[in-house]
Amino acid sequence: MSSAAQLSQIEFLKRTFIIVAVAVIPFLIWYLFGVVLMAFGAVILAMLLRLIAEPLVRWLKVPGPLALIVSALIVIGVVLGAGYLFGTQITSQFQDVVRRAESARADIHAYLQESDFGKFVLNEISGSTFSVTEILSGVLKVSSRFLEAVIIMIVTGIYLAAQPRVYRDGLVWLFPPRAHRRAAEVIDEIGHALRLWLIGQLIEMALIGALSALAVWSIGVPSPLALGLIAGIGEFIPYVGPLLAAIPAILVALTKSPEAALWTLFAYLVIHQIEGNIVAPLIQRRMVSIPPAVMLLGIIAITYLFGLVAIIFAAPIVVVIFAAVTVIYVRDTLGEKTALMRKLR
């Protein structure tokens, strides 16, 4: 066999291997989606650690490795400090939220049982098997498998934060040598988009959590710290999380009085109107702006495909996909001047 034929055969085998690999990737993502979620969690944690470390390096001239150690200690200190100062109170308030929410559910169930229409509604939603206590308690319970995933995510995040360039270069090496430079630029831009989104989300989480806790406290609703924490955490999942976070607040307020429930509903609507029309636009001027419908449909699609657990990191996954499509296809292939490109440049 001539050398030309051998080269042709080798090239054919290489292309066949690439096609097979590309075809297998979606199936690997499907079966290993839990690993994908842990990877996203690790990347977000690494970005958080580096966000805290950067001011130390820039303003205080602290060496990079030492700044990362200080950053990790700050995160640990904040978590432990919050647990020490508010842990008992927040735990008791979470228990109070569960108890009051279940009490409100029972009252609503009894009220609906008094009418034929109410009985019809209960039959349609299988009200006899619905339990707020079971749902909230299930969310708050931590399984050993979940703890293992969290530990792996934390350790991986620390490694990523310590040597981000090593892993970034590893991704670049997956591409042909002639494409290394462009691959590095695309990876950096997608990472920058995710970083900007994270900064914006942290700001919104802090503001919404504080405003929600202050609102329910002023109304006189029990457990304001727990409800504020739920609202802040819920903000990590755009559009869907705030709606879910409002449910326990309204149910807890309902155990106090119908008027308190109405005021709580009104307060949450006002807070999220302020967030949607004032806070978010101001933040997005300096951050990555994704159309709301794209984000919402992306979150729903990912949750539908991979299960309810995927909703935790569905938003950053949507950010990465949106940034990749915008940078690789809309900008580089079509040559369009996109809003995301202006944010990144």
Question: What does each C-alpha distance from 345 to 185, 199, 287, 316, 340 come to in angstroms?
Answer: 12, 17, 12, 20, 9
Name residue, tokens 């206590």: 133
Is residue 77 situated within a structural domain? Answer: yes
Number of domains making up the chain: 1
Euclidean distance between CA atoms 305 and 30, whole angstroms: 9
Q: Flag whether 3 is in a domain.
A: no
pLDDT at 144: 57
Q: What is the pLDDT along the chain (345 residues), one digit of tens a residue?
A: 555 555 566 666 666 776 776 677 777 777 888 888 899 899 999 999 999 999 989 898 889 889 999 998 888 887 676 556 555 555 666 667 667 777 777 777 777 777 777 777 667 665 444 444 454 454 444 455 677 888 888 889 999 999 999 999 999 998 888 888 989 999 999 999 899 989 989 998 999 999 999 999 999 988 788 888 889 888 888 777 888 888 888 888 877 888 998 999 999 999 988 887 788 777 766 677 788 788 888 888 988 888 877 888 888 999 999 999 888 888 877 777 766 544 444
pLDDT at 187: 92
In-domain check, residue 2: no
CB contact at 8 A, 98 and 137: yes
Angle at 301 (CA atoms; ends 295, 302), nearest 5 degrees: 90
**pTM assigned to the model:** 0.76
Determine the Cα–Cα distance for residues 200 and 283; give it in Å rounded to an integer.
6
293, 155 Cβ separation under 8 angstroms: no
Question: Looking at residue 143, what DSSP letter applies?
Answer: -
- Listed residue (225, 205, 202, 206) closest to 215, CA to CA: 225
Residue 260 lies in domain: 8-344
> How many angstroms from the chain centroid is the CA of residue 222?
27
Q: How far apart are CA 215 and CA 234, in angstroms?
A: 16
Q: Is residue 111 part of a domain?
A: yes
Q: How far is CA 341 from CA 42, 124, 185, 288, 344, in A?
A: 26, 48, 12, 9, 5
